Amino acid sequence: MAGERLRAAAEPGFVARFGGDEFSVLLPTANLKRIEEIGAAIIRALSQPFEIDARIVRIGASVGAAIYPDDAADDAPESLIKAADMALYGAKAAGRGAMKFFAEEMAHAVRRRRQLGEELRKAVARGEMSLVYQPIVDIADESVTAVEALLRWTHPEFGAVGPGEFVPVAEENATIVEIGDFVLRQACRDALSWPDSVRVAVNLSALQFERGDLVATVTAALAESGLPAYRLELEITETILICNHETVLTTLNRLHGLGVHVALDDFGTGYSSLSYLNDFAFDKVKVDQSFVRAIGAPDNAKAASIIRAVNAIGRDLRMGVVVEGIETQDQLSAIQALGVRGAQGYFFSRPVPAADIGVYLLKRMAERARRAGAPRHRAEAG
């Protein structure tokens, strides 16, 4: 059915299936406007629902286009196809249902991604990966409840590469499994020197649920470090729940069985299905930082309502609610007024190296003790 629609929309193009869910269309034109129209028609056609055995099925499409001879490195057909493939990659990165023409930057981006991918294979062994830590604060009593471990990569040649750039590459070539293993072990080890009331939060990728044995890895990280399970919190995003729903739920329940906490990260972006909250007893929900940004915008009513509603759900379901990305006193006051207790962001601290977070935690505890009127010597010992 998809093929029929594609053929009709791509008229007068020649349509071929490349494998999996990839198709190619050869058009006898170099007219940009014409190509754009056909691309849009293809996306429209494939975005209409399909009826299969009385069930409604929805798919979508992204389109990448390359033009001969401008975009081809040489006369080999493969070169044009490769350029179209890079454009497709760019279209997918731009979001669902987009179309992109090949651009020279795309070739640079692909080259860099390939290089980073190669270098990621050696990064852990070479000691290039490290963790920085950012506190998560209970604004009601100003205590630090947890500290999130965030991965940093310093490459000898490329310098500092941000996780926003390299984590997707590591997910693509599966090096995230080994890297994630390193993160778990290192985070548990570092957390051991913090006060007992402070948990360490570790981000997980979908691939760690699919490859390798996550429960065994977590068990080993806890055993090796001696960190009690209740002090470890695993942050997952909903994309992990979309694929392999049942197996992921089984794994999450086994992790819960160990006593580990599980948090739903970046809530409110993507699909944000409330059914995820119904399927699994998350200990915490982290509201994506885009909401607190929106509170600062002129029309702030919607973002505030959404935060208030998520907070109410959290209270009913006995889940902690944390708002990410608090940068200013105003933002802190705003979420406080909405009844939120958990907050994370530059306002409290930027992510800092392990040694510094230890000092930060001690300082916060001493301040709190002083405010509570505890004897000075106890505060300093704390």
Binding site for ligand C2E (CB under 6 A): 134, 150-151, 162-164, 167, 176, 180, 183, 203-205, 235, 265-266, 289, 324-327, 344-346, 351
Q: Which of 62, 134, 186, 203 binds Mg ion (CB under 5 A)?
A: 203
Q: How far is CA 228 from CA 102, 107, 119, 205, 363, in A?
A: 52, 47, 34, 23, 24
To Mg ion, the closest distance from the beta carbon of 265 in angstroms equals: 4
Contact 113, 105 (CB under 8 A): no
* Residue 271, binding choice from ligand C2E, Mg ion, none, Cβ under 5 to 8 Å by partner class: none
To ligand C2E, the closest distance from the beta carbon of 221 in angstroms equals: 13
| H/E element, 363 | helix 354-371
Q: Which is nearer to ligand C2E, 42 or 201 (CB)?
A: 201
Q: How many CB atoms lie within 10 A of CB 24?
A: 17
* Number of Cα atoms under 13 Å in the Cβ half of residue 331: 24
Q: Which is nearer to ligand C2E, 46 or 326 (CB)?
A: 326
d(CA 7, CA 26): 11
Report the SS3 class of residue 299. coil
Contact 60, 47 (CB under 8 A): yes
To Mg ion, the closest distance from the beta carbon of 152 in angstroms equals: 14
**Chain position carrying tokens 């099925």:** 57
Tokens standing for residue 67: 């033009």
* Residue 325, binding choice from ligand C2E, Mg ion, none, Cβ under 5 to 8 Å by partner class: ligand C2E
283 contacts Mg ion (rule: CB under 5 A): no
Report the SS3 class of residue 184. helix
Within 293-352, the residues that bind Mg ion by CB under 5 A are 324
To Mg ion, the closest distance from the beta carbon of 203 in angstroms equals: 5
To ligand C2E, the closest distance from the beta carbon of 238 in angstroms equals: 12
Tokens standing for residue 23: 């198709």
Q: Which is nearer to Mg ion, 267 or 360 (CB)?
A: 267
**Interacting residues with Mg ion (CB under 5 A):** 203, 235, 265-266, 324
